[in-house]
Structure 1
């Protein structure tokens, strides 16, 4: 074979190889989840050796006491698929279960951690979830800041949102201190709660006043979110030893002092709001009660209300007297919200009876559903526009 034939053969082989690779790449492309024109979503997973593939998601209807699960169907090219019902606008999460093993969707790079679980997420728009999207509006700045806690004798981390225009302005801004639940940390409201997107979109539409939002870490035994501190890479747990020990409430004024030293903020009660979900609602209740002339606005989202009977901290004593002082000092808004099927519903009902007996004024919102981020995002979306009017 002469040199010319060898070169032609070599080039032909390379062309065939490249074409095969190109075709192979196209065949491997899988869209999951796929947004369909009728409002449904299709999920796909290539699993050639699987005997059974299921999908578990918060958009499915549970058929028992366990998580909602549906079977996926095997189609061509070893691709398993499932198409949902028409889904209302929301942020949803899901996982696949392959022969009993829960896995992430390899074709969806969007993931959120909740405590020690990681799930895929997707957005169904054309409704309330439009607030959760990054839209073409002016954006605020999100910073991770460390502050020194003299009381706890450590440096701790905060997440701070400053609204669009803060850096170029000389104005003072009001502050919302936004607290997470027992499974969260200073990243929870940003990741699971979509707080920056909600605030950007509400401010851009004129529905909320520009405000600074300070998101704390309510677990005082941790200095920062998992993997973000000198504690190293450990498996997160929900019930840390600091829950109900009173440290978060006792040293909260350090966070206010740091904020007012480092940011241009109003320093009057009317310029401060505090709100939180579940454990954060518990913290918001007790912080505002123990410092009864500090916050003009208080939001309790699905709050855990009362501490356990063995809670020793003086922070949790004499609630009635503290509420009377808070009422006497005055406030602009005391807002409570909870879902009808929330496991804390009765506790909140009992707390409302206490407030009613004291003639303690509050606003109340009751929604469908339970102890979920779907409700807490709704509550933030409703609460923020009521602030600093």
Structure 2
């Protein structure tokens, strides 16, 4: 009996070890995606029982908000493949549709969550995406800190980038507050925006000043990104309580106080910048206006502009008067970027007309495309070198 127990234990250990080794091995030798020197990319998926497999990628002509698709071809071994035409240098996302079911690529471990969707990503080098790559340059430090937000009655998480050499220096640094869009959180700019890689590379090239970059969670109802709070593992949603109702703007001083009490920050509005995309552009517009002598550098990336008629908050009262006050107090840069096909294009155009009427100077950047991370990474890459000069 003792021998049987010993044999069973040995078999269990062997089986568990073999299973672990199989899991570690990955179980497939397919390469997908395979990025080639001519910027064509080959995608592969083994699905012998599938009747139809399509590839869907963000570089394909979109159908509304949904990226286009292309049919893949099946070989005798049940492997479906497709080689693209040359793809632009960028961080790209994609997925497969297997008999209508959208899935991720099992041969690509690189995935990013955007709200409640998870997609595979890859980088095509040889152009602007070289800024999004980890290169052999000095690196900053990225930390997730928790801070007290009395205005929201919460302890909240925030992402903070400190530049290379921060820990060993005694220097005070300027600060950029970088805000995400609706559905995002304190992880969005670091993950989807590649903000930390862009910063490392631009600072190393001498194109951007070393700076602290603060990436808060603009959803004031959340402690932190989904899965990172006491709420546990829940399905993320797009619209949350107190979204764009003035609460983010009113409680923003909690963030300022935490940063300026815990980091070596250079004082004065000339050493503070604020920028954001979409909802974050909306917050940047209204925070910089509501506290008109706080930021000398403002960046609005595809911004939403005006609050809903259903919203009542002191933040949105006396809009024109506070904007004129912001203009009169002076600033170094007021930067606006928007894509030609962005659904917010007209709202931004109307807002520019308002700025023109009151004589408030701004720098305007109009790009191809619409409401996309491709544009927002471009805008950040262009905005950073202008700051704190």
Is TM more than 0.5 here? yes
Classify the secondary structure of the residue corresponding to 2:70. Answer: strand
Match of 1:199 in 2: 199
Q: Secondary structure at the match of 1:137?
A: coil
1:166 corresponds to: 166
Q: Distance in 2 between matches of 1:140 and 1:275?
A: 20
Q: How is 1:119-138 mapped onto 2 (pairs within 5 angstroms)?
A: 119-138=119-138
Q: 1:49-79 CA deviation, whole Å, 9 max, x = no partner?
A: 1111111111123467853011000013110
Match of 1:237, SS state, is coil
Alpha-carbon distance in structure 2 between the residues aligned to 1:222 and 1:96: 32
SS in 2 for 1:118: strand
Cross-structure match for 2:304 = 304
Evaluate the alpha carbon distance shift between residue 85 and residue 269 of structure 1 in structure 2; reply closer, same or farther with a 3 A threshold. same
CA-to-partner distance for each residue in 1:252-284, whole Å, 9 max, x for gaps?
011011000000001210000000000000000
Deviations 1:191-223 (A, max 9, x none): 000000000000000000000000010000011
Residues 27 and 159 (structure 1), Cα distance of their counterparts in 2 relative to 1, 3 Å cut: closer
Q: 1:45-64 alignment to 2 at 5 Å?
A: 45-62=45-62
Distance apart, 1:310 and its partner CA: 1.5
Q: Distance in 2 between matches of 1:97 and 1:330?
A: 53
205-214 vs 309-318, which moves further: 309-318
How far apart are 1:245 and its partner, in Å? 1.8
SS at match of 1:76: coil
Counterparts of 1:27 and 1:241, CA distance in 2: 44
- The SS at the match of 1:77 is coil
Partner in structure 2 of residue 332 of structure 1: 332
After TM superposition, the structure 1 = structure 2 runs for residues 70-89 of structure 1, keeping only pairs within 5 Å, are 70-89=70-89
| Displacement after TM superposition at 1:39 (Å) | 1.7
Query: Unaligned regions of 5+ residues in structure 2, if any?
Result: 1-21
C-alpha separation in 2, matches of 1:377 and 1:299:
13
**Structure 2 residue aligned with 1:294:** 294
Cα distance change, pair 319–126 in 1 and its aligned pair in 2 (3 A): same
The answer as to whether partners of 2:133 and 2:197 remain within 8 angstroms in 1 is yes
Q: How many residues align?
A: 367
Alignment partner, residue 152 of structure 1: 152
Per the TM alignment, residue 27 of structure 1 is displaced from its structure 2 partner at its CA by 9.7
**What do residues 21-69 of structure 1 show as CA deviations (whole Å, max 9, x unaligned)?**
x9xx899410000012322000000011111111111112346785301
Q: Residues 159 and 26 (structure 1 numbering): CA distance in 2 closer, same or farther, change over 3 Å?
A: closer
> 1:95 aligns to what SS in structure 2?
strand
Residue matched to 2:19: none
In 2: Cα distance, 1:203 partner to 1:64 partner: 37
Where structure 1 has 5 or more consecutive residues not aligned to the other structure, the ranges are 1-21
The 1:128/1:224 distance shift into structure 2, 3 A limit, reads: same
Relative distance call for 1:27 and 1:387 in structure 2 (3 A) is closer
CA distance in 2, matches of 1:104, 1:150: 41
Q: Distance in 1 between matches of 2:32 and 2:279?
A: 35
Q: Point out the more displaced range, 37-46 or 371-380.
A: 37-46
Larger Rg, first or second structure (1 or 2): 1
Q: Distance in 2 between matches of 1:79 and 1:267?
A: 59
Give the root-mean-square deviation of aligned CA atoms.
Answer: 1.6
What's the counterpart of residue 111 of structure 2?
Answer: 111
TM-score (normalizing by structure 2) = 0.92
- Measure, in 2, the Cα distance between the counterparts of 1:370 and 1:27: 39
C-alpha spacing 1:45/1:207, structure 2 compared with 1 (3 Å): same
